[in-house]
Amino acid sequence: MPYIKNYFKLNKIDHGPVNTKFDLLSKYDYCLCIENMYLEGYITEKIFDCFFLWNYPIYKGSSDIKKYLPEDTFIFIDDFNDTNELIKYTQSLSENDKNDYRDNMIKFFEGPLINKYYYSIDEMFD
């Protein structure tokens, strides 16, 4: 019964179906990327989807993510003491700051680090 009650409430605020992740994420500047497990080295598609869509990923997951991805390409939740500090930081970002994140994402995709991820599925089946 609670599901049905909440379903109708949520359905009232629905603005139509989402056909793809791109359709939804491309409308926003920021995206929460929360992994379903917090294991070192465990990084899923969530953060990369943001990179492709020019969202600013706000990431929570692998504690060693900075070992794999340049820290100037995402916002790491663990770098903040609390949610208020994180919100203040995101609100303080200027358009130039946001463009710097995007430029850093481009550098990541054009640089040699992306190859580690681009072919990672192939390596799983070797």
Residue 122 pLDDT greater than 60, yes or no = no
Q: Which CB contacts under 8 angstroms, 24+ apart, belong to 38-43? A: 38/62, 38/63, 40/64, 41/68, 43/68, 43/69
Percent above pLDDT 70 for the chain: 76
Section 106-118 average pLDDT: 75
pLDDT of residue 83: 94
pLDDT of residue 48: 85
- Model confidence at 55, in pLDDT bands (50, 70, 90)? confident
pLDDT of residue 84: 96
pLDDT of residue 41: 85
Section 68-88 average pLDDT: 94
If we measure between CA atoms, which residue out of 52, 44, 60 comes closest to residue 22?
52
